[in-house]
Amino acid sequence: MENLYGSGAAGSVQLVLETARLKLRTYSKTDIAELVPLIGAREVAATTLRIPYPYSEKDAIEFIAASESDSERRLAIIQRTDGRLIGGVGLRLASQHQHAELGYWLGVPYWGKGYATEAAREMLRYGFEDLHLHRIFASHFNNNPASGRILKKLGMRYEGCQREQFRKWDQFLDSELYGMLRQEWDAAK
């Protein structure tokens, strides 16, 4: 897997990671036209904590701006074959604890094709090998078992259920928590 850095607009560093089928790269404002209809689908918002519905161009601008912070590594998931944006993956960093929360989303037409697993695996690699994190964790709503299957495929360990942890659309939802330590990543390689 490649890990490439280049300079982007206004001197910002652009992060690009590559897998067999995907390019994971820093978002840009040129992504907004593709981003809004994909991330804005009700089915996508229903499976995530931080994606609002309905989703507007203003939301996309704020999302892209937030992806450029020191505590976030949000990357667009791009198909290498056609350059199409299909989703996003990222890490929310807590550097003082040397850990990060893994998150991902895919546009509905790309569900069930292994893209989320492929992108998330590369983010785990990046987090452990490039950022030297000690722990990476992720959670999913209990009504989204497909996300739990992805986390299991990645080799993350189930750590428990946080009962009615989050409120989404006036409903309290359980959150299923998974985690991986660097030594577990190293042992699985």
pLDDT one-digit tens code per residue, 14-58: 899 999 999 999 999 999 999 999 999 999 999 999 999 999 999
Domains of the chain: 2-188 (3.40.630.30)
CB burial of residue 73 (10 Å; 0-12, 13-18, 19+): buried
CA distance 156 to 178: 6
Mean pLDDT of 133-158: 97
Model confidence pLDDT, tens digit, residues 118-137: 999 999 999 999 999 999 99
Model confidence pLDDT, tens digit, residues 82-124: 999 999 999 999 999 999 999 999 999 999 999 999 999 999 9
Confidence grade of residue 70 (pLDDT, cut at 50, 70, 90): confident
Confidence grade of residue 68 (pLDDT, cut at 50, 70, 90): confident
E strand or H helix at 139: strand 135-141
What was the pLDDT predicted at 157?
Answer: 98
Name the average pLDDT for the chain: 93
SS3 category, 12:
coil
- Contact (CB, 8 A) for 15 and 2: no
